[in-house]
Amino acid sequence: MSLSKQETEFLTTFSASGKRVFTYQQAADYWFSKVAATNTLGRLVRKGWLQRLERGLYMIIPLEAGPERLWSENAIILASSLISPGAVAYWSALRFWNMTEQIPRIQFIQTTKRKRSLTIQGVEFQFINIAERYFFGISTRKIEDIPITVTDREKTIIDAASRPELSGGIFQLAQALKSSVNFIDWEKLNRYLVQWGGGVVAKRLGYLVETLSLPIPDRVSTINHWQTMISKGISQLEPGSGRSGPVFTRWQLQINVPVEFHEQ
């Protein structure tokens, strides 16, 4: 359906400024009127130029969608736009940095806010709430000239070690470490681990670096440093995979998945 001059200017202005996803309040600020914003947004949804994602949140369907308006946004771009502050993280970030060949069925967004999961164009977006002290290591990149926020390589590794169940499992973390050992800034990762507070993250990373014989810089001193940061008590290598398996006392880990996982 055709657009009025005012509607065209509105969509062009928001698209040019990178606002493919925007709030009702941003539209109201543009129109200087809540009544005008409500009426315009309603018309654009009916015409197929906007999709209402949830109450007060809209997405512009771009011109390349074609006359039938059949289109699915790049999930990473969309994920980065759904909440602020927020960043593409966990398995989604592993995929973004090419640290895994597996494509996650769910897009994970890390945020300090609480938000329910959304399903858009058949894609589920899951928001993982974390404390502000753990929200760091955020990188800004561009896809199709659109800025996105994503955890950097090193923070992605930290997050995956903290929550393997959100990152494809411990096997995916092992594969990520092996494939990216020469691309990871290990000095930065070590700083992040200290900032995180070590704990079970230090346990899993230490165990994997040793078991996989990864040639990280200053390997002996780094591993010894990580040893000083492990938490007390026995932790599971793979959360949620049962409590059976031998305990590796050096890292206080119960190896509750087949040790051959790193050789697959």
List strands edge to edge, sheet with 247-248.
Answer: 235-236, 253-254, 247-248
Q: Within this chain, do residues 54 and 164 fall inside the same structural domain, yes or no?
A: no
Give me the mean pLDDT over the 88-96 stretch. Answer: 96
Is residue 61 domain-shared with residue 94, that is, in the same domain?
Answer: no
Q: Is residue 152 part of a domain?
A: yes
Q: Is residue 70 part of a domain?
A: no
Q: Residue 16 sits in a domain of what CATH number?
A: 1.10.10.10
- 41 lies in which domain range? 5-65
pLDDT at 72 over 60: no
For Cα atoms 143, 146, 152, give the angle at the middle one, nearest 5 degrees: 60
Same domain for 241 and 120, yes or no, is yes
Question: Are residue 204 and residue 245 in the same domain, yes or no?
Answer: yes
CA pair distance 106, 118, nearest whole angstrom:
10
Domain total in the chain: 2
**Residues 47, 93 within the same domain:** no
Contact assessment for residue 162 and residue 197, using Cβ atoms and an 8 Å cutoff: no
Q: What single-letter DSSP state applies at residue 259?
A: G
Among 65, 91, 117, the domain-final residue is 65
Q: What is the pLDDT of residues 245-260, one digit of tens each?
A: 899 999 999 999 876 6
130 with 60, same domain?
A: no
Q: What Rg, from alpha-carbon coordinates, does the chain have? A: 22
Does residue 147 surpass a pLDDT of 90? Answer: no
Among 65, 85, 108, the domain-final residue is 65
pLDDT at 261 over 80: no
